[in-house]
Chain A
Amino acid sequence: MAPVVLWSDALIWLLVAAALAFAWGSRRNPLLRAAWQRVGRSRTGMASATVLLFYVCVGLLDSLHFRPRLESGETQIAASSERKPAVYAVQVLSLLDAVLSPLRTRSEKTYSEPLATRAHAKEAIELRDASGRVRQIRDYPRLQYGGAHLGADETRRDADIGERLLRALAIALLVWWALAAATATALARIEACSHVEAWRRIWCNETGFACNAVLAVIAALLLVGIALGQLAVDYHVFGTDKVGQDVLYQVLKSVRTALVIGLVTTLVMLPLAVFLGVVAGYFRGWVDDLIQYLYTTLSSIPGVLLIAAAVLMMQVVIDTHPQWFATAAERADLRLLALCFILGVTSWTGLCRLLRGETLKLRELEYIQAAQAFAVSDLRILARHILPNLMHIVIIALVMDFSSLVLAEAVLSYVGIGVDPTMISFGTMINNARLELAREPAVWWSLAAAFVFMFTLVLAANLLADAVRDAFDPRLAGAA
Chain B
Amino acid sequence: MLAYLVRRLLYALPILIGVNLVTFALFFVVNSPDDMARMQLGVKRVTPEAIARWKAERGYDKPLFINEAANGTAVFTDTIFFSKSARMFAGDFGRAEDGRDIAREIVSRMGPSLAIALPTFLLGLLVTISLALLLTFFRASYLDFWGVVLCVAMMSISGLFYIIGGQYLVSKVWRLVPISGYGGGLDAWKFLILPVVIGVVSGIGSSTRWYRTIFLEEIARDYVRTARAKGLSELTVLFRHVLRNALIPILTGVVVVIPLLFMGSLLTESFFGVPGLGSYTIDAINAQDFAVVRAMVFIGSVLYIVGLILTDISYTFVDPRIRFH
- The reply to whether the CB of A372 lies closer than 8 angstroms to some CB of chain B is no
Given contacts A403-B156, A434-B160, contact A300 B293 (CB under 8 A): no
Select one of A301, A319, A451 contacting B161, CB under 8 A: A451
Against B, the Cβ 8 Å flags (1 = close, 0 = not) of A295-308 are 01111111011101
Residue of A nearest to B296 (CB): A305
Against A, the Cβ 8 Å flags (1 = close, 0 = not) of B169-198 are 000100000010000000000000000000
Taking CB atoms and an 8 Å cut-off, the chain B residues in 273-318 that contact chain A are 281-282, 285-286, 288, 290, 293-294, 296-297, 300-301, 304-305, 308
- The reply to whether the CB of A210 lies closer than 8 angstroms to some CB of chain B is no
Q: Is the CB of A309 within 8 A of B27?
A: yes
Q: How far is the CA of A312 from the CA of B296 in the complex (A)?
A: 14
- The reply to whether the CB of A414 lies closer than 8 angstroms to some CB of chain B is yes
**Smallest CB separation, B25 vs chain A (Å):** 10
Interface segment, B35-43, B55-63, B86-94, B224-232?
B35-43
Q: Is the CB of A313 within 8 A of B31?
A: yes
Q: Is the CB of B15 within 8 A of A462?
A: no
Q: How far is the CA of A462 from the CA of B158 in the complex (A)?
A: 13
Interface segment, A172-180, A236-244, A453-461?
A453-461
**Smallest CB separation, A353 vs chain B (Å):** 13
- The reply to whether the CB of A100 lies closer than 8 angstroms to some CB of chain B is no
Taking CB atoms and an 8 Å cut-off, the chain A residues in 427-460 that contact chain B are 430, 434, 437-438, 442, 447, 451, 454-455, 458-459
- Which residues of chain B have C-beta atoms less than 8 A from A451's C-beta? 157, 161
Q: How far is the CA of A43 from the CA of B103 in the complex (A)?
A: 55
Q: How far is the CA of A459 from the CA of B157 in the complex (A)?
A: 8
- Which residues of chain A have C-beta atoms less than 8 A from B320's C-beta? none
Given contacts A309-B293, A455-B157, contact A293 B35 (CB under 8 A): no
Given contacts A316-B39, A430-B158, A437-B168, contact A301 B22 (CB under 8 A): yes
- The reply to whether the CB of A417 lies closer than 8 angstroms to some CB of chain B is yes
Q: Is the CB of A310 within 8 A of B18?
A: no
**Smallest CB separation, A461 vs chain B (Å):** 8
**Best-surrounded residue of A299, A310, A316 (most CB of chain B within 10 A):** A316
- Which residues of chain A have C-beta atoms less than 8 A from B304's C-beta? 299-302
- The reply to whether the CB of B23 lies closer than 8 angstroms to some CB of chain A is yes
Select one of A297, A309, A316, A417 contacting B18, CB under 8 A: A297
Q: How far is the CA of A304 from the CA of B277 in the complex (A)?
A: 13
Taking CB atoms and an 8 Å cut-off, the chain B residues in 30-75 that contact chain A are 30-31, 35-36, 38-39, 43
- The reply to whether the CB of A89 lies closer than 8 angstroms to some CB of chain B is no
**Best-surrounded residue of B14, B39, B286 (most CB of chain A within 10 A):** B39
- The reply to whether the CB of B322 lies closer than 8 angstroms to some CB of chain A is no
Q: Is the CB of B30 within 8 A of A313?
A: yes
- Which residues of chain A have C-beta atoms less than 8 A from B168's C-beta? 437, 442
Q: How far is the CA of A40 from the CA of B160 in the complex (A)?
A: 33
Q: How far is the CA of A313 from the CA of B36 in the complex (A)?
A: 9
- The reply to whether the CB of A410 lies closer than 8 angstroms to some CB of chain B is yes
- The reply to whether the CB of B267 lies closer than 8 angstroms to some CB of chain A is yes
**Best-surrounded residue of A300, A426, A437 (most CB of chain B within 10 A):** A300
- Which residues of chain B have C-beta atoms less than 8 A from A77's C-beta? none
- The reply to whether the CB of A102 lies closer than 8 angstroms to some CB of chain B is no
- Which residues of chain A have C-beta atoms less than 8 A from B22's C-beta? 297-298, 301
- Which residues of chain A have C-beta atoms less than 8 A from B18's C-beta? 293, 297
- Which residues of chain B have C-beta atoms less than 8 A from A322's C-beta? 43
- The reply to whether the CB of A78 lies closer than 8 angstroms to some CB of chain B is no
Q: How far is the CA of A407 from the CA of B308 in the complex (A)?
A: 26
- The reply to whether the CB of B133 lies closer than 8 angstroms to some CB of chain A is no
- The reply to whether the CB of B159 lies closer than 8 angstroms to some CB of chain A is yes
- Which residues of chain B have C-beta atoms less than 8 A from A463's C-beta? 152
**Best-surrounded residue of B31, B153, B281, B285 (most CB of chain A within 10 A):** B285
Taking CB atoms and an 8 Å cut-off, the chain B residues in 122-169 that contact chain A are 152-153, 155-161, 164, 167-168
- The reply to whether the CB of B19 lies closer than 8 angstroms to some CB of chain A is yes
**Smallest CB separation, B35 vs chain A (Å):** 5
Q: How far is the CA of A316 from the CA of B152 in the complex (A)?
A: 39
- The reply to whether the CB of A320 lies closer than 8 angstroms to some CB of chain B is yes
Q: Is the CB of B36 within 8 A of A316?
A: yes
- Which residues of chain B have C-beta atoms less than 8 A from A415's C-beta? 266-267, 270, 282, 285
- Which residues of chain A have C-beta atoms less than 8 A from B161's C-beta? 430, 447, 451
Select one of B153, B156, B164 contacting A430, CB under 8 A: B164
Given contacts A411-B267, A462-B155, contact A312 B260 (CB under 8 A): no
Q: How far is the CA of A411 from the CA of B268 in the complex (A)?
A: 11
Q: Is the CB of A414 within 8 A of B156?
A: no
Q: How far is the CA of A384 from the CA of B302 in the complex (A)?
A: 41
- The reply to whether the CB of A190 lies closer than 8 angstroms to some CB of chain B is no
Q: Is the CB of A297 within 8 A of B15?
A: yes
**Smallest CB separation, A457 vs chain B (Å):** 8
**Smallest CB separation, B133 vs chain A (Å):** 21
Given contacts A316-B36, A317-B35, contact A414 B160 (CB under 8 A): yes
Select one of A293, A300, A430 contacting B305, CB under 8 A: A300
- Which residues of chain A have C-beta atoms less than 8 A from B300's C-beta? 301-302, 305
- The reply to whether the CB of A416 lies closer than 8 angstroms to some CB of chain B is yes
- The reply to whether the CB of A466 lies closer than 8 angstroms to some CB of chain B is yes
- Which residues of chain B have C-beta atoms less than 8 A from A305's C-beta? 281, 293, 296-297, 300
Q: Is the CB of B305 within 8 A of A411?
A: no
- The reply to whether the CB of B263 lies closer than 8 angstroms to some CB of chain A is yes
Q: Is the CB of A462 within 8 A of B156?
A: yes
Q: How far is the CA of A317 from the CA of B158 in the complex (A)?
A: 30
Select one of A299, A309, A438 contacting B294, CB under 8 A: A309
**Smallest CB separation, A38 vs chain B (Å):** 19
Against B, the Cβ 8 Å flags (1 = close, 0 = not) of A364-380 are 00000000000000000
Q: How far is the CA of A455 from the CA of B156 in the complex (A)?
A: 6
Q: Is the CB of B160 within 8 A of A411?
A: yes
Q: Is the CB of A312 within 8 A of B285?
A: yes
Q: Is the CB of A300 within 8 A of B301?
A: yes
- Which residues of chain A have C-beta atoms less than 8 A from B157's C-beta? 451, 455, 458
Q: Which 9 A-B pairs have the closest CB atoms?
A: A297-B18, A302-B300, A459-B156, A458-B156, A300-B301, A300-B304, A305-B297, A316-B31, A437-B168
Q: List 26 A-B contacts (CB under 8 A).
A: A297-B18, A297-B19, A298-B22, A301-B23, A301-B304, A302-B260, A302-B300, A305-B297, A306-B297, A308-B281, A309-B27, A310-B26, A312-B293, A317-B31, A319-B43, A320-B38, A411-B159, A411-B160, A416-B282, A430-B158, A437-B164, A437-B168, A455-B156, A455-B157, A458-B157, A458-B158
Please name 5 further chain A to chain B contacts, defined as beta carbons within 8 Å, in addition to the given A309-B294, A317-B31, A416-B282, sorted by A numbering: A300-B308, A414-B267, A458-B155, A459-B152, A466-B152
Q: Which residues of B contact A (CB under 8 A)?
A: 14-15, 18-19, 22-23, 26-27, 30-31, 35-36, 38-39, 43, 152-153, 155-161, 164, 167-168, 172, 179, 260, 263, 266-267, 270, 281-282, 285-286, 288, 290, 293-294, 296-297, 300-301, 304-305, 308
Q: Which residues of A contact B (CB under 8 A)?
A: 293, 296-302, 304-306, 308-310, 312-313, 315-317, 319-320, 322, 403, 407, 410-411, 414-417, 426, 430, 434, 437-438, 442, 447, 451, 454-455, 458-459, 461-463, 466
